[in-house]
Amino acid sequence: MANLGTTELDVFRLCLGGNVFGWTADETDSFAVLDAYAAAGGNFIDTADTYMRPNMGVSETIIGRWMAARGNRDDIVLATKVGSDGGLSAGNIREHAEASLRRLQTDRIDLYYAHKDDLDTPVAETLRAFDELVREGKVRHIAASNLSAERLRESLDVSWREGLAEYVALQPHYNLVEREGYEREYAPVVEEHNLACLPYYALAKGFLTGKYRPGGPDVESPRSKGALAYLDGRGERVLAALDQVAAERAAPVAAVALAWLSAQPGVVSPIASARSVEQLEALLPAVGLKLTDEELATLTEASA
Query: What positions carry a catalytic annotation?
Result: 51
Q: If DSSP codes are grouped into helix, strand and coil, which group holds residue 131?
A: helix
Cβ-based neighbour number of residue 116 at 10 Å? 18
CA–CA separation, 300 and 304 (whole Å): 6
Omega into 52 within 30° of 0, i.e. cis? yes
CA–CA separation, 221 and 205 (whole Å): 10
Contact 67, 104 (CB under 8 A): yes
Q: If DSSP codes are grouped into helix, strand and coil, which group holds residue 201?
A: coil
Closest CA to 254 of 294, 295, 204: 204
CA–CA separation, 207 and 230 (whole Å): 7
Contact 33, 274 (CB under 8 A): yes
